Homo-oligomer: A and B are copies of this chain.
């Protein structure tokens, strides 16, 4: 069985020395969120993930969910774990105090997300979307709805879902057919079928709160005619208690490649009672409140799976003995050396380490922006944080999960044949990771969001701002002898990003296909540059703190070097591929 230890040391180093988590306590309302408090809470969360969630991950996969006549039974241990999760107060960690939450910085939740997903992705998915529902309700819901639903969401009594997809409407939500008609009491009645609804039905809570995209009778065509509704599984009575069943039924669950312990449901809405959230026909705007938070979370899922895979591969490589080091046996007392001595095994391990730690740094930096955007007293600082979030959300989601899938596969590979059998658990990480490249908008959709929407926005303001941050850090790094050469190579990569950006946007003025043709390669290029920049920041922090942790400084500088010299060069291949333009992609007739 795989093991998991939350990487608290790395997290602490990143928060304290790379992104400056002490900023949080300067934000209004977060005065108590000192580094000490943050690390204490995270250590408690880590223990919960290690001791409660990780032990039921592999059994949950083997058992899966059971569907019977509209009900879903979760695997053994999930109900108890969910109860412990609620007892610990975790569901309300970042929710407003007015509704019973603890109002902690959202960055803390981002870090907890990584640990939960590393320990048990399927479990984490039961409550992941609750946060999106809570957020959307808080921002767009009426006071009456908030009062009736939020306290029970915040204390974990009820969970939430996002009901977007239909059989004929996935990426293209404009095609949805679910209808909502006004009812006498100001409610609405919804009818239609939603598919791929994560945690759409389960036995963890007495009620489930669905946020549903549907069209009103007078709706304009396409996405501009979509409204958002809250539809509870059970009718919630005036006193807040759960009454009779609403017209929502789970008609089946999917048999999937992975996340088998999470129920992916087909939900039939049949004249179900619902409440409008936000304005009529403006549902997409409200939905994006949820979706952006969920996309960042999916990136954390990837990082979590990368981390747990790496940990287990490293442990195996230290333990498994096959062959001899190329310069002669390293351990003459044994009949073979640990496979860690083989350069090709180390290449895999270093690749995993450099991606995982680099991505984590990037993700916590982005996570910090959530709090800066929400609470910074200066409007300019809030806007800058919002810009970073808009730009980086698709990068964290898509680059994070593409890379995580690569990392889980490298980890499996380190196990050789043992990696392919279920017992070791490595192939579960691969199967679980594979969904993260698809849901909450496929990674192709993320790439289009980045290059088709975020990058061109306001004549490239977001990218300029980002590259400004990068250049400033690199300029400082060039003055540090141990880092100067690496920083120069990241600078080259950043320049390749800048020139590629300009080239694509210019071409797109005459051929709109240039955006789509470049998008996926561009997102990867962007992710590599951003992670390379993070490695320079990590290296700088390691040098700054060398006195207190000389070994860590050596390790971080060495990993930074590995990233820059052995992974970052792909940037230039991607730039060359993008510069070939759309024509080679579009020319062959595939119809």
Residues of chain A touching chain B, judged by Cβ–Cβ distance below 8 Å, are 165, 168-172, 175, 195-196, 254-258, 264, 314, 317-318, 321-323, 326-327, 335-336, 338, 340, 342-350, 353, 405, 409, 412-413, 416-417, 419-423, 427, 430-431, 434-435, 437-439, 442-444, 447-448, 512-513, 515-517, 519-520, 554-555, 558-559, 561-562, 565-567, 569-573, 576-577, 580, 582, 584-591
Contact = CB atoms under 8 A, between A and B. Distances in A.
Contacts of A421: 254-257, 264
Contacts of A435: 420
B327 A512 contact: yes
Contact of A427 (B257, B349, B513, B570): B257
15 contacts: A171-B322, A171-B323, A254-B421, A256-B427, A342-B444, A343-B582, A346-B517, A347-B516, A350-B588, A554-B588, A558-B588, A565-B584, A566-B580, A566-B585, A567-B577
B340 A591 contact: yes
B585 A559 contact: no
A168 to B, nearest CB: 8
Closest 5 CB pairs of A and B: A343-B516, A565-B580, A573-B573, A257-B427, A172-B322
Given A434-B427, A516-B342, A585-B350, A416 B170 contact: yes
Given A326-B513, A582-B343, A416 B434 contact: no
Interface centre among A344, A416, A580 (most CB of B within 10 A): A344
A405 B169 CA distance: 28
A564 B317 CA distance: 37
Q: How many copies does the complex hold?
A: 2
A335 B577 CA distance: 33
Contacts of A566: 577, 580, 584-585
A345 B447 CA distance: 12
Given A322-B171, A558-B587, A417 B577 contact: no
A366 B305 CA distance: 39
A189 to B, nearest CB: 25
